[in-house]
Structure 1
């Protein structure tokens, strides 16, 4: 087969009238994700008392959710109503780049959140000298920039591969799935992909674990009042981290372990969990657990209350 200029999403074939039910569910879900995340961003942006590192990072999570889902939902909604489920090679690689940038950004932001909590709880007297608006901005820019560069290089390597197939058994473009369609030796891109995984996922997770272990040690030595306050700010971060990590692991497992025999519907859901659950769970977790954000959101929804 010649080098493919289009790829075809095979899982949209033969779904019949189910497509309209799926379209309705996906549309409602996407609107809900946009609504809650935009509400969180506005609450933090408009309330000056929330212009603090922890809240700024929470707003970054919401911005990232809007960014990542924008690469998936409009496309999948179009495919559900269309009889042609093809995507050009360039758009496919772009979609893959944006979705994986979203994943890496999520871990980066969660790592910075863990560092912020570590500084606040373990080094409270030095907190305002360690975490300043300038240092936080630099950390965000550096972390987001180098990950985008790494993923951009991976995208360029993918564009240069000669494809011997054009059928994708996913509902979105996945860089590893594209590599599996190549008729060339993919050892370079596989090794580079492993390097990216270590730099953008393993290292941030290790630093997150280090931060929370130290926080836990400090809490065990502190008063019950201090312990309760620390847990109140840390538990939402841990919930978000665990949820996102389980979702990403599910997608990676389904992509790389071909011996799993799961129903198609369950397989699709598990592969999409990282694009569906975290973007809607994150703002709910923070809105419900952090009174300052909850109060501002209530004011935005009902300004006359």
Structure 2
């Protein structure tokens, strides 16, 4: 087995086994979801880019969140749609690593951008006197650079670690590739393959701790001011809802991968695997589009062609 690792050039994805009767229906439903994801995210992105009055840190972060939603789903939906129309469900070694990289880096960047949005709301509500001096355009650009660069770099290191593994199998029990499942096919134990993910999980756990800390201060501050309560409801509740939706969706998948029962139906396993690729990319722009007055007005204005 150790001598055969180099001949593995493709992986078999077994997540679609047993649903041959529903492939066409599932294809059109998936295509509909993907079109909706593009529609709602592009609507918010174009609205923020075109309207100069929305060129503020909060909206710029939201724009990047929507861009990241399109980036992450592009790593899954096109391949999944092709698999639904194909009789064989395989992916090349390079394609598997690329898909895993895109999905992992998108999830990580999502978390970083949501943390940036929490920081922006903390400064705006808890320290309003220094907001404009702290959240300048150059600093916002620096924040965004690191919000994209650090997750991509950490995931890249993890992907390179996976690439060095000697594999003794090619069967992935999922509908898409992730580094963890590729690592499970390794012929031998690798310390690096444990340390790198552990560091990444610890790093993003600190993000979670920061969000909790910022919201504790936000709630304390908003209790003493009606104006701050209004700001909290208008801008923090959508962010909090998006954060909880994203966190719960991702947590379901992570816990199921590691502790889920293999006896569950294939449909249940598939749903647990893709819900974070369906729910947050659709809900994030919808929640902000409906809740944030300026974005909602600009979109309605564009649709009806009149000033509101």
The TM-score bracket by the shorter chain reads over 0.9
The 2-side partners of 1:287 and 1:164 are apart by 48
CA deviation after TM superposition for structure 1 residue 225, in Å: 3.8
CA deviation after TM superposition for structure 1 residue 261, in Å: 4.2
CA gap of 1:257–1:186, structure 2 versus 1, over 3 A, is farther
Does structure 1 retain, via aligned residues, the 8 Å contact 2:112–2:147? yes
CA deviation after TM superposition for structure 1 residue 48, in Å: 0.7
The 2-side partners of 1:230 and 1:259 are apart by 40
Does structure 1 retain, via aligned residues, the 8 Å contact 2:72–2:103? yes
Does structure 2 retain, via aligned residues, the 8 Å contact 1:118–1:212? yes
Q: Does 1:217 align with 2:207?
A: no
What per-residue deviation string (whole Å, max 9, x for no partner) do you get for residues 239-285 of structure 1? 00000000111110111114464322122112211111000000100
Does structure 1 retain, via aligned residues, the 8 Å contact 2:108–2:151? yes
CA deviation after TM superposition for structure 1 residue 304, in Å: 5.0
Structure 2 residue aligned with 1:205: 208
User: RMSD of aligned C-alpha atoms?
Assistant: 1.3
Structure 2 residue aligned with 1:240: 242
Structure 2 residue aligned with 1:283: 285
Structure 1 residue aligned with 2:150: 146
TM-score relative to the length of structure 1 = 0.96
Secondary structure of the structure 1 residue equivalent to 2:237: helix
User: Which stretch of structure 1 is more off in the superposition, 201-210 or 98-107?
Assistant: 201-210
What per-residue deviation string (whole Å, max 9, x for no partner) do you get for residues 278-304 of structure 1? 000001000110010001111222325
The 2-side partners of 1:225 and 1:114 are apart by 18
Structure 2 residue aligned with 1:36: 40
User: Which stretch of structure 1 is more off in the superposition, 182-191 or 166-175?
Assistant: 182-191
Structure 2 residue aligned with 1:99: 103
The 1-side partners of 2:144 and 2:122 are apart by 17
Does structure 1 retain, via aligned residues, the 8 Å contact 2:13–2:174? yes
Q: Which runs of 4+ in 1 moved over 6 A?
A: none
Q: Does 1:257 align with 2:233?
A: no
How many residue pairs align between the two structures?
A: 303
5+ residue gaps in structure 2? none
User: Which stretch of structure 1 is more off in the superposition, 257-266 or 25-34?
Assistant: 257-266
CA deviation after TM superposition for structure 1 residue 89, in Å: 0.5
5+ residue gaps in structure 1? none
Secondary structure of the structure 2 residue equivalent to 1:8: strand
Does structure 2 retain, via aligned residues, the 8 Å contact 1:254–1:260? no
The 1-side partners of 2:213 and 2:45 are apart by 29
Structure 1 residue aligned with 2:60: 56
The 1-side partners of 2:102 and 2:178 are apart by 10
The 1-side partners of 2:277 and 2:231 are apart by 31
Q: Does 1:292 align with 2:294?
A: yes
